[in-house]
Amino acid sequence: MNQESTNVIPLPDKLATKRLARRIAPHLAPGQLVVLSGPLGSGKTFFTRALCRALGLPEERRVPSPTFTLVHEHATQPPLAHADVYRLKDAREVEQLGLDAQREDGFVVVVEWGEPYIDALGGDALVVSFSLDPRGARLSATGPSASKLLEAVRDS
């Protein structure tokens, strides 16, 4: 259940999405869950790429879409696990990815299409809901650390 949310942040071009990622990145503590929702092609993977760069991943390290591979780990600071659960059927399959344990190990865990599975992912998510026409995003929080994160991003 969302405790609070922002207004829609317009993302008219790729630079705007990069700026949003740069704004959020400094506030991401190890173990934070970030869930990305929104239609096909709305910018979830692009945003994750920008987040990885903002968390120090060098340009020569690729950030491919995990649509088929399900989870990729990136040597960011803190480390980031990027998942796409579009193809999974239920919460049990999501639990089997072990992302909850990765949070405990200090990974920031970013999950495309993860909104129906927030509990299976350990809860307390920052939710970034992308829209396509026009392009934009709304931020919301489903728990205490995500709420603090949302406040910090708002004040930044």
Ligand X SMILES: Nc1ncnc2c1ncn2[C@@H]1O[C@H](COP(=O)(O)OP(=O)(O)OP(=O)(O)O)[C@@H](O)[C@H]1O
Would you tell me which residues interact with Mg ion (CB under 5 A)?
44-45, 65, 112
Q: Write out the binding residues for ligand X, residues 12-71 only, by CB under 6 A.
A: 13-14, 16-17, 38, 40-46, 65, 67
Between 112 and 124, CB nearer to ligand X: 112
The least CB distance from residue 84 to Mg ion, in Å, is: 6
**CA–CA distance, 156 with 151 (Å, rounded to integer):** 9
Between 31 and 128, CB nearer to ligand X: 128
Residues with Cβ < 8 Å from 38, sequence gap 6 or more? 44, 128, 129, 130, 131, 132, 137
Between 31 and 45, CB nearer to ligand X: 45
Residues with Cβ < 8 Å from 101, sequence gap 6 or more? none
What count of residues does the chain have? 156
Residue pair 128/50 in contact by the 8 Å Cβ criterion: no
The least CB distance from residue 144 to ligand X, in Å, is: 28
Q: Which residue is nearest to Mg ion (CB)?
A: 45
Place of tokens 């630079």: 15
Stretch that binds ligand X, among 8-16, 55-63, 74-82, 100-108 (CB under 6 A): 8-16
Q: Which two tokens stand for residue 33?
A: 């869950």
82 binds, among ligand X, Mg ion, none (CB under 5 to 8 A by kind): none
Residues that contact ligand X, how many (by CB under 6 A): 17
**Which residues pair with residue 40 across a beta bridge?**
none
**CA–CA distance, 63 with 76 (Å, rounded to integer):** 11
Interface contacts to ligand X, rule CB under 6 A: 11, 13-14, 16-17, 38, 40-46, 65, 67, 112, 135
